[in-house]
């Protein structure tokens, strides 16, 4: 393999690693809805701090995130590193997948039921402190709360006006978060909903499309030399 190919392989590996870290940093990745809600929420993303591994990719990180919810299925879409990244979770079946389309590669990483269950077993019930402050986010009245768990403290602005569904990471919260500021895995970010729309979401958005190389999380980590 010549020097150019070696450099491209190194860049591709770094990009995949950064994309995987981004997928794991967003708490809305595993959002959970009740059977009655179907629609779309768009969030604007601002980065306060980021890990050393991601520095140099600042201009290629997502500035928006789209969440599509149908029943107990959720899909997160982002443009990242010159490509796209999608995360899908099915809370009924406790399965999901991550799609990465970048650097000329299309990879689908399947998340098994065992991985979902292992993650849930490790989760601790967060402590929630409700505050008196309110503000309007995406046209909805939101209340402020501080949520503390093993990863630290997250500032949330949640609404009771979308009482049809809950957020899986904050199931005990009295509403759904439309804005939060969080720091985990050395990434500190703020996300604020700019659009909340109720409407039909196509079923095929929750399946792996043709043209993707399907692998497990262990396969992906092995490809990246971890």
pLDDT at 20: 53
Q: What is the pLDDT of residues 97-139, one digit of tens each?
A: 989 887 778 999 888 888 777 766 666 778 899 999 999 999 9
CB atoms within 10 A of CB 21: 16
pLDDT at 71: 80
pLDDT at 12: 47
Q: Which residues contact 69 (CB under 8 A, 6 or more apart)?
A: 31, 33, 37, 38, 39, 40, 41, 75, 165, 201
Grade residue 96 by pLDDT with cuts at 50, 70 and 90.
confident
Contact 116, 94 (CB under 8 A): yes
Q: What is the pLDDT of residues 163-209, one digit of tens each?
A: 655 666 777 788 888 998 987 777 788 999 999 998 999 999 999 99
Predicted TM-score (pTM) above 0.85: no
Which range, 65-79, 118-132, 134-148, is most confident?
Answer: 134-148
Average pLDDT, the chain: 78
Grade residue 82 by pLDDT with cuts at 50, 70 and 90.
confident
| Burial of residue 181, with CB atoms counted within 10 A of its CB: 0-12 exposed, 13-18 middle, 19 or more buried | middle
Q: Is the pLDDT of residue 222 over 90?
A: no
């Amino acid at each position: 393999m010549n020097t150019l190919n070696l450099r491209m392989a190194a860049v591709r590996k770094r990009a995949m690693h950064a994309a995987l870290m981004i997928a794991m940093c967003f708490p809305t990745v595993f959002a959970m809805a009740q059977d009655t809600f179907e629609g779309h929420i768009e969030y604007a993303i601002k980065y306060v701090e980021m890990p050393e591994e991601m520095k140099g990719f600042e201009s290629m990180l997502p500035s928006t995130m789209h969440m599509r919810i149908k029943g107990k299925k959720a899909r997160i879409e982002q443009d990242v590193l010159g490509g796209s990244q999608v995360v899908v979770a099915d809370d009924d079946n406790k399965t999901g997948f991550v799609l990465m389309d970048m650097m000329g590669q299309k990879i689908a990483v399947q998340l098994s039921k065992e991985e979902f269950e292992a993650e849930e077993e490790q989760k601790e019930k967060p402590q929630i402190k409700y505050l008196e402050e309110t503000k309007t986010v995406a046209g909805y009245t939101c209340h402020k709360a501080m949520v503390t768990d093993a990863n630290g403290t997250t500032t949330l602005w949640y609404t009771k006006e979308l009482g049809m569904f809950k957020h899986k990471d904050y199931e005990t919260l009295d509403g759904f978060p439309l804005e939060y500021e969080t720091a985990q895995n050395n990434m500190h970010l703020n996300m604020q909903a700019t659009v909340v729309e109720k409407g039909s979401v196509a079923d095929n958005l929750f399946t792996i499309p043709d043209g993707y190389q399907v692998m497990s999380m262990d396969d992906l980590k092995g490809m990246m030399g971890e």
